[in-house]
Amino acid sequence: MPQSPSTLPVSLDDDWSARRADARRNHEKIITAALEVFAERGLAATVPEVARRAGVGKATVYRSYATKADLIEAVAEYQLRWMEHRIAQALAESDAYPALSALLGDMAERLAGDRVLADVVPESSEELNSNIMTGIEALLVAAREQGGIGPDVTIEDFRVLFGGYTRQLVAMEIRDPAVWRRYSQLVLRAFSI
């Protein structure tokens, strides 16, 4: 289950910092509930389910997000920001190969438990996806330079193998994080020297 937005060092939305305290609390409750409900039910989840989980009325949700698509976009953006943050942590490590291994495992586990992340991320913001791919590519390059990754491994290889197993596990409705982590490590082994 996703962590509460307040437990991660990822900003929800800078526009909300200037709002009334009760509006900010409601917004955080809505996003937290949306993260949980969409993670559990994927795109089939409804705004009334999110409102119930948040303990607010549907109208409160719709004041912040005019449509379900807007709410899904906010959830997907939050998850992508989490990925950016996690990649930045990996890039800060001095030993790139173990950092890459941990990152791929964490991303796999997050995808296993979150239907929206697995369903929406491939079609999400080009800018965010570009940032994520740039970060992963930098980590691949660092691991290659340190001798852990083969000299011919590219970001396209990552996209194909990572994207391939994630889409297949989603299609097979496999949600066991251990299975997802296993496939992330198989991908890493394919890249290794």
- Identify whether residues 43 and 136 lie together within a single domain: no
- Residue 124 confidence (pLDDT): 53
Check residue 15 and give its pLDDT: 55
> How high is the pLDDT of residue 132?
86
**DSSP code, position 12:** S
Last residue of a domain, one of 25, 46, 70: 70
In a shared domain, residues 56 and 93: no
Structure confidence by residue, pLDDT tens digits, 46-82? 999 999 999 999 999 998 899 999 998 888 888 888 8
Question: What is the model's pLDDT at position 9?
Answer: 42
Both 35 and 96 in a single domain?
no
Q: What is the mean pLDDT of the chain?
A: 84
Range of the domain at 83: 79-191
Please check whether residues 96 and 64 belong to one and the same domain. Answer: no
Its pTM stands at 0.79
CATH number at 185 reads: 1.10.357
For the segment 20-25, the average pLDDT, to the nearest whole number, is 78
**Same domain (yes/no): 139, 87:** yes
| pLDDT band at 167; cut points 50, 70, 90 | confident
User: What letters, b where the CB count within 10 A reaches 16 and e where it falls short, cover 113-124?
Assistant: bbbbbbbbbeeb
Count of the separate structural domains present in the chain: 2
Dist. CA 71–CA 86, nearest whole Å: 23
